[in-house]
Amino acid sequence: MTDETAAVDDSARDTASGSAPASDADSALLQELRDRVTYQAERWRPGVRVTDIRPLTGGTSSLTFLVDLREAGAETTVVLKVAPPGLPPVRNRDVLRQARVQRVLRGRDRPLAPTVLFSDEGQPPHSPPFMAMNFVPGECLEPILTPAARRPAPDVVHARYLDAARLLVELHRVRPESVGFADEPVITLGDEIDRWTRAFTTLPEEMRGDYERAGAALHASMPEPLPPAINHGDFRLGNTLCDQRRLSAIIDWEIWAVGDPRIDLAWLTYFTDDAGHPAAEAGPPAGTPTRDEVVLTYEQASGATLPDLDWFHALVRYKESAATGLLLKRALKRGASPTGPLGRMLPVLPALVQESLDILEARSS
């Protein structure tokens, strides 16, 4: 993974979303997509006809479209995720890799991800790969990053969080080797640290903080790994679709990997009211459970106690500082003036690195 693409998917973050660029959704791309979608849709379900393709909100890792289909007088809408044209479809832009994991994921009583209906390899970089998924209705927002007036009721937020912890257990129960991922590289804890350390090296000096010392401290105190699981990589409510108090699907699988399951759980807990996330909206709490409640719910659902979570709380602050630094660097390079959650992160990246160090020092004392 190169330094420039180490960050979480921009389109999956509430801090960096926007409309698909007009240059990427021009008539030539739409016509080329329509031709290939028509071909693959007819292979998937003979007799189906494409009636419309229109762009949806997206980011730099992929473009998203809604596709209207008609079959025997009935209409349905599917979601098309397309690698950005003109760029190699690798790493977080590899939509076919995302399709691969989504095809095999299912929980005990509900899907873990939208169902992949069909896909196309294209001829990248100018004819980009795509995958088509069923349209899953639901609300997608990150409560602590959302203004209070737009949030669900606190009891709904609380219920969704606990459901997310239980659904994460369902994901981590899927053994990689049982779904054809025996050869998938396992991302070690050392790999995870190094990934974000490389990202720090690309940032302006004022964004870095004492990242070298923090990275070394993380390496020096690494806990014993747990058996590897399939990790989403950016698991939080903002990357799910919710119906009332329950999650309908986990979305945005750009950086999934096989690794220690505590990485996903610790990341989820960083978006609770009591975690002190610097991008959180001012005002009343969103209504999330406490970090400890989320962990307890996960442990009760999994039947196992998770050791050394304080180390992972240090890791996620290191990760958040590096990943957000990349988003800020790109925004500033475009001449943008970051506002909202992303803007609130700009002055605090070095402090996040220091938080990571403080957690590790407290852990060792």
How far apart, in whole angstroms, are the C-alpha atoms of residue 221 and residue 66? 46
Q: What is the pLDDT along the chain (365 residues), one digit of tens a residue?
A: 233 223 333 333 333 333 344 454 478 888 999 999 999 999 999 999 999 999 986 555 789 999 999 998 899 999 999 999 999 999 999 999 999 999 999 766 788 999 999 999 999 998 999 999 999 999 999 999 999 999 999 999 999 999 999 999 999 999 999 999 999 999 999 999 999 999 999 999 999 999 999 999 999 999 999 999 999 999 999 999 999 999 999 999 999 999 999 999 999 999 999 999 999 999 999 999 999 999 999 999 999 999 999 999 999 999 999 999 999 999 999 999 999 999 999 999 999 999 999 999 999 98
State residue 17's pLDDT score: 34
Closest CA to 261 of 303, 306, 310, 222: 306
Strand runs labelled E in 35-176: 49-56, 63-71, 74-82, 116-120, 130-134
> 21: which residues sit within 8 A by CB, 6+ positions away?
none
- Contacting residues for 123 by C-beta, under 8 A, at least 6 apart: none
Verdict on whether the full-model pTM lies above 0.75: yes
pLDDT of residue 62: 83
Q: Give residue 365's pLDDT.
A: 85
DSSP 252: -
Q: Which residue reads 């912890």 in tokens? A: 165
Cα atoms found within 13 Å of the Cα of residue 330, Cβ hemisphere only: 18
For 147, residues 6+ apart whose C-beta sits below 8 A from its C-beta are: 281, 283
Residue where the block lists tokens 């990349």: 326
Q: Are 214 and 357 spatial neighbours (Cβ–Cβ below 8 Å)?
A: yes
What domains appear along the chain, each with residue ranges and CATH number? 3-134 (3.30.200.20), 143-364 (3.90.1200.10)
* CA atoms of 257 and 244, how far apart (whole Å): 29
Residue 245 DSSP one-character state: T
Residue 108 confidence (pLDDT): 67
